Amino acid sequence: MRKLKLQVQITVDGYVARSDGGLDWMTFTPDETMFSAINALTDSSDTILLGRKMTQGFVNYWEDVVDNQPESPEHYFAVKMVQTPKVIFTKTLTAPVGRNTSLAKGDLVSEVTALKNKPGKDIIVYGGAGFVSSLLQEGLIDELNLFVNPVLIGKGMRIFDTLDSTRKLRLEKAIPFGNGETLLTYALL
């Protein structure tokens, strides 16, 4: 069975975005070690899951880099993001958004379980916050990859507040980066 891996930028105080969705707090100035870690995680997966609210911004951003910014240092990664199949979980969209996307409109547990049972590499989820919270609540995420930013923002969107039971974790690795961020990878037990 394929694993579902979460990759998320998070503050030290546990927020994944400001209350309005803002990400201006991210200290994303990657070095080679960080690029290597991000690429390794991305390359271990062949499917991306997205919640509807995050989809438009995610798809538009990476497609713009591919189509209009060939000199960008993000171009190589952007090509991966555009070429990788993406499954958008939605109750309201009637058509896929962007390239290499499809819609999942059924029961969350059934849809994710079916994807995990298909052959292939692992599956990665980037967000949004409400979607990730639902995946965590249902026990569908197998691995947390938390890019902890050295910042406190005091309030905003969280992904762990809806958990109604204790979840045990095992630290798989901790990688500090030159920009002050640390990647913490945990297996959910």
* Residue percentage of the chain with pLDDT more than 90: 91
Average pLDDT for residues 147-161, to the nearest whole number?
A: 96
Whether 90 and 52 have beta carbons less than 8 Å apart is answered as: yes
Rounded CA-CA distance 46/36 in Å is 17
For the chain, what are the domain ranges?
A: 4-188
**Across residues 137-163, what is the average pLDDT?**
96
Gap between the Cα atoms of 1 and 16, Å rounded = 28
Q: Would you state the torsion angle of the CA atoms of residues 137, 141, 145, 148, taken in this order, to the nearest 10 degrees?
A: 0
pLDDT band at 188 (very low <50, low <70, confident <90, very high): very high
127-132: average pLDDT: 94
β-strand partners of 163: none
pLDDT for position 168: 95
At 182, list the tokens.
């640390």
Mean of pLDDT values over 98-113: 97
Say if domain 4-188 classifies as CATH 3.40.430.10.
yes
Give the whole-angstrom CA distance, residue 185 versus residue 169.
Answer: 10
Is a pLDDT exceeding 90 seen at residue 32?
A: no
How far apart, in whole angstroms, are the C-alpha atoms of residue 186 and residue 24? 26
- How does residue 171 score in pLDDT terms, banded at 50, 70 and 90? very high
Instruction: Quote the pLDDT of residue 67.
Output: 98
Q: In what order do the strands lie in the sheet with 4-11?
A: 101-104, 86-89, 45-51, 122-127, 4-11, 143-149, 182-188, 169-176
Question: Mean pLDDT over all residues of the chain?
Answer: 95
pLDDT above 90 (res 164): no
Distance in angstroms (rounded) separating the CA atoms of residues 46 and 51: 17
Tens digits of per-residue pLDDT, 53-84? 999 999 999 999 999 999 998 899 999 999 99
| 136-149 residue pLDDT tens | 999 999 999 999 99
Identify the burial level of 59 via C-beta atoms within 10 angstroms of its C-beta, where 0-12 means exposed, 13-18 middle and 19 or more buried: buried
What's the pLDDT at 115? 98
pTM score, whole prediction? 0.94
- Res. 28: pLDDT tops 90: no
